[in-house]
Amino acid sequence: MRQVSIVGIGQTKAGEHWERSLRDLASDAILAALKDAHAEKVDALYVGNMLSGELTAQQHLGTLIADWAGLGGVEAIRVEAADASGAAAVRLGYLGVASGVQDVVVVCGVEKTTDADAETTTAAWSAGTDAEYEAFQGLTMPAMAGLLMRRYMQEFGVGREDLAPFAVNAHKNGANNPNAMFRSTISVETFMKGGMLADPIGMFDAAPLCDGAAAVVLCAGERARDLGGRPVRILASAMATDRLALHSRRDPLFLHAAYLSALKAYEQAGVGPREIGLFELHDAFTVMAALSLEACGFADRGQGTRLAKDGEIGLQGRIPLSSMGGLKARGHPIGATGVYQIVELAQQLRGEAGANQVQAHLGMAQSLGGSGATAVTHILGA
Amino acid sequence: MRQVSIVGIGQTKAGEHWERSLRDLASDAILAALKDAHAEKVDALYVGNMLSGELTAQQHLGTLIADWAGLGGVEAIRVEAADASGAAAVRLGYLGVASGVQDVVVVCGVEKTTDADAETTTAAWSAGTDAEYEAFQGLTMPAMAGLLMRRYMQEFGVGREDLAPFAVNAHKNGANNPNAMFRSTISVETFMKGGMLADPIGMFDAAPLCDGAAAVVLCAGERARDLGGRPVRILASAMATDRLALHSRRDPLFLHAAYLSALKAYEQAGVGPREIGLFELHDAFTVMAALSLEACGFADRGQGTRLAKDGEIGLQGRIPLSSMGGLKARGHPIGATGVYQIVELAQQLRGEAGANQVQAHLGMAQSLGGSGATAVTHILGA
């Protein structure tokens, strides 16, 4: 098994791209990443995407994007794991290079939601739940998160305002990220005043779905120097799953897949949560941020909000979260999000995060699919 | 890079499964394959599927099926490459084991088309073309094949009846396969009388879409003996792509992706077409069988039908094709087909093909996505 490094990164702005199609967004990110890596030829393309079949009547994205980006004949596969599609694509790129079968691969996450109306998108997004038992009852993703948040508040005596710091922090960081969808800070007061989406999930608990594409070039460690990019090492790559339906889980407030994949990643990298200097987590809803912190060993059960309250999740805190805006402020282009997280972590570890620069040598990214049924965790090192 | 072997196979019947849902079909095939391999624990699940989002409003299939099949927490990813989704999943399972990251993986291809009406399915299937330039003009998959077949007939002076032997051969072999959808033989006369789907594609040129699931268990060569199954070695695994849209290809009658992936596979296995004793090819339409034979070096340009006419594609011929019925008679459960091909090749190499047994030590399977824009080729050895 070979060491794998990230030698190139690229991204489009996350947001509403009315004038660009899915293939354009993906190609923009890929070409930027290849340029950054000084790479011209790759051995494979992995594309993470969830909804292009439902929203744009286009599948077969691996080949479409390889064709459009001019990668000429290269092996190309599309990967889907609901919201974690992008991170799963990174995982497969990692396996391709680690195996020795592929030397240089490019991984792209892309989603285009503005080609369909919001109702269609919301319905399609709920295909990440157990459709026959959850979506068919009318449960959308915000509704699923609402069930979790209500139970969390009840079980641990937490109020809505206790979750506010996750959103406030994300928006503060997003304000300095030129690729973020939302670049305004918000106050706790604004947070509390947001309209309800799925009680108790308010507008500022939820990340916005949007368009976007991000890409990374991976290569074998020994070749990283030849390619001229500033390499960031992938110290661990791990994935795990849980029961898909919320009602099947013994304890819905414990994200077992997040726990398992983090555990495997810690073992592979030979570190624990103490050594992790920043954490790009899956803050699709504020309650998911709290649950992730607990599952990954950064906080005890029911104590995830305390870290946020104590200011420990800011750029200078004990464990900076969502350092470039997270899903909440950068935006959540569903199948692209997992790759954005890796790109942003690489920006931080390369010292290219601008006003949001965190001093850290070790960072972790964790992407969740559905209501936490899939988790992909990567640990990167400078 | 480690040697990879197939140590377990499983399949449901291909056909119309009105009483079984997608998750049931997939679990049936997976549990059969695990039983065949005497394996209880796997490190990962790869699921090949094209249309479950569009046809059953269910995505996130990796996790759903891992959950339903009782694989408890295992890493699980869904893979899509249009009609080649199943073969692409086999390719990723191969990479996972070859890399040393995973020791035992299960790969499942599954499709459920009877949950939607035929028009919805036909429209969804065309998402494997370049949707903005082809499907949006009303081009379905049979229509795309019709364009290719008309051009083939014109360019090489071939008649419709010259393509008949591919269908006749497939139906003859399917008659002896208990898992095939169609188990009746057909004559050239029946073939010629079939109604037109998309002139010149007649009913008997086209494989039927259907439901089905197939699964294989892969493990590292050195562990194959421990697991108790009869191992079949994967001697080569290769994938390539072409321009997605037919009109973008320099020569639409040359399947460049099929050629490239076969070339890579021959190199990896250290063999050529002469050494291949049987070939499970992508006979979604008769003309595709002819084009595949030519692209893979079994026939000269425009001569693919001659092999068929000379009786060389039968079970006792020079290069037996579609030995268990192929897509044409076994049925084409889109995202499952690539795994069915591997299962059937393994049946042959294990000497378990019953009345259709071919005497061969080396077999090749090739799965195509869209109108040949993606090709995945595997060479297996007894």
Kindly state whether residue B108 falls inside one of the protein's structural domains.
yes
Q: Are the beta carbons of B53 and A58 separated by less than 8 Å?
A: no
The amino acid present at A378, given as its one-letter code, is: H
Claim to verify: residue B219 and residue B265 sit in the same structural domain: no
Domain assignment present for residue B175? The answer is yes
Closest CA to A231 of A362, A57, A47, A382: A382
Output the CA torsion A285→A287→A292→A294 (10° steps): 170
Residue B132 lies in a domain: no
Helices (H), A116-229: 118-125, 141-156, 160-174, 188-193
One domain, residues A50 and A104? yes
Longest distance between any two alpha carbons in chain B, whole Å: 57
> B73: exposed, middle or buried (C-beta count within 10 Å: 0-12, 13-18, 19+)?
middle
Distance between CA atoms of residues B129 and B248, nearest Å: 12
| Ordered mean pLDDT values, 10 residues apiece, chain A (382 residues) | 94 97 98 95 97 96 98 96 98 95 97 95 96 95 98 97 98 98 98 97 98 97 79 97 96 98 98 98 98 98 94 96 98 98 98 97 98 98 94
Question: Is B130 within the bounds of a domain?
Answer: no
Is residue B126 included in any domain, yes or no? Answer: no
Torsion of CA B31, B339, B359, B185, to 10 degrees: 100
Q: Which residue has the tokens 């399947």?
A: B255
**pLDDT at position B302:** 96
Phi, psi of A158 (to 5 degrees): -105, 145
Q: Which residues of chain B have a CB within 8 Å of the CB of A79?
A: 77-80
Whether residue B276 is contained in a domain is answered as: yes
Q: Tens digit of pLDDT for each residue in B212-256?
A: 999 999 999 888 877 766 899 999 999 999 999 999 999 999 999
Phi, psi of B117 (to 5 degrees): -75, 165
Residues 6+ apart with CB under 8 A from B193: none
User: In angstroms, rounded to a whole number, what is the distance separating the alpha carbons of residues A70 and A42?
Assistant: 11
* Chain A residues 130-189 with CB within 8 Å of chain B: 130-132, 135-136
Same domain, yes or no, for A149 and A248?
yes
| Integer angstrom CA distances of residue A131 from A246, B52, B53 | 12, 11, 10
- Residue B56 has its nearest CB partner, among A123, A131, A240, at A131
**A64 and A159 co-located in one domain:** no
Residues A190 and A323 in one domain: yes
Q: Is A333 an 8 Å CB contact of chain B?
A: no
Residue A54 CB: number of other CB atoms within 10 A?
21
**In this complex, which of A63, A78, A369 lies closest to B60 when CB atoms are compared?**
A369
Chain B residues within an 8 Å CB radius of A92 = 77, 92, 95
Closest alpha carbon within chain A to B248: A67
Query: What pLDDT is recorded for position B226?
Result: 79
pLDDT value at residue A228: 67
A162 and A74 within one domain: no
Q: Do B1 and A260 touch (CB under 8 A)?
A: no
Q: How far is B356 from chain A (nearest CA, A)?
A: 33
In the stretch 262-281 of chain B, residues with CB closer than 8 A to chain A read none
> Which residue blocks in A322-365 are alpha helix, DSSP H?
326-330, 337-349
| A240 with B74: Cβ contact below 8 A | yes
Does the distance separating the beta carbons of A132 and B241 come in below 8 Å? no
**How many other C-beta atoms can be found within 10 angstroms of the C-beta atom of residue A301?**
13
Q: Is A77 on the interface with B (CB under 8 A)?
A: yes
Rg (CA), chain B: 19
**Which residues have CB under 8 Å from B168's CB, separation 6+?**
B185, B186, B187, B188, B191
- B178 & B166 share domain: yes
| Chain A residue at shortest CA distance from B86 | A77
Backbone φ and ψ of B53, nearest 5°? -65, -50
Interface predicted TM-score (ipTM) over 0.90: yes
Host domain of residue A217: 4-117+210-232
Closest residue in A to B255 (Cα) is A73
Residue in B56, B80, B240 nearest the CB of A75? B240
| Same-domain pairing of B183 and B216 | no
* Shortest CA gap A373–chain B (Å): 7
Q: Say if B125 falls within a structural domain.
A: no
User: CATH number, domain at B43?
Assistant: 3.40.47.10
**From the list B1, B62, B79, which residue is nearest A100 (CB)?**
B1
Could you tell me if residue B60 is inside a domain?
yes
The residue type at B225 = R
Asked if residue A141 lies in contact with residue A327, where contact means CB atoms within 8 angstroms, the answer is no
Q: Quick one: tokens of B29?
A: 């095939």
Q: Test A100 with B99 for CB contact under 8 angstroms.
A: yes
CA B87, B361, B352: angle at the middle one, nearest 5? Answer: 75
> How many domains are contained in chain B?
2
Distance from CA of B178 to the nearest CA of A (A): 31
Report the SS3 class of residue A323.
Answer: coil
The list of chain B residues with pLDDT below 50 reads: none
Q: Are residues A174 and A101 in the same domain?
A: no
For residue A243, what are the CA distances in angstroms to A104, A306, A329, B25, B123?
Answer: 34, 28, 29, 18, 32
Do B241 and A66 count as a contact with CB atoms less than 8 A apart? yes
* DSSP-derived pairing of the beta strands B196-198 and A196-198: unpaired
Question: Are the beta carbons of B286 and B163 closer than 8 angstroms?
Answer: yes
CA distance A347 to chain B (A): 27
Q: Which of residues 37-76 of A touch B (CB under 8 A)?
A: 44, 50-51, 53-54, 56-64, 66-67, 73-76
DSSP class of residue A338 equals H
Both B88 and B143 in a single domain?
A: no
Cα separation, A244 vs A259, whole angstroms? 15
3-state SS, residue B11: strand
Quote the tokens at residue A37.
């890596």
A241 and B76: CB-CB below 8 Å?
yes
Q: Does B80 touch chain A (CB under 8 A)?
A: yes
Helix (H) or strand (E) holding A79: strand A75-80
| Residues B288 and B251 both lie in one domain | yes
* Residue A67 to residue B98, Cβ atoms within 8 A: no
Nearest to B283 by CA among B313, B303, B311, B240: B313
DSSP A321: B
In this predicted structure, what is the pLDDT of residue B46? 98
Is the same domain home to A43 and A143? Answer: no
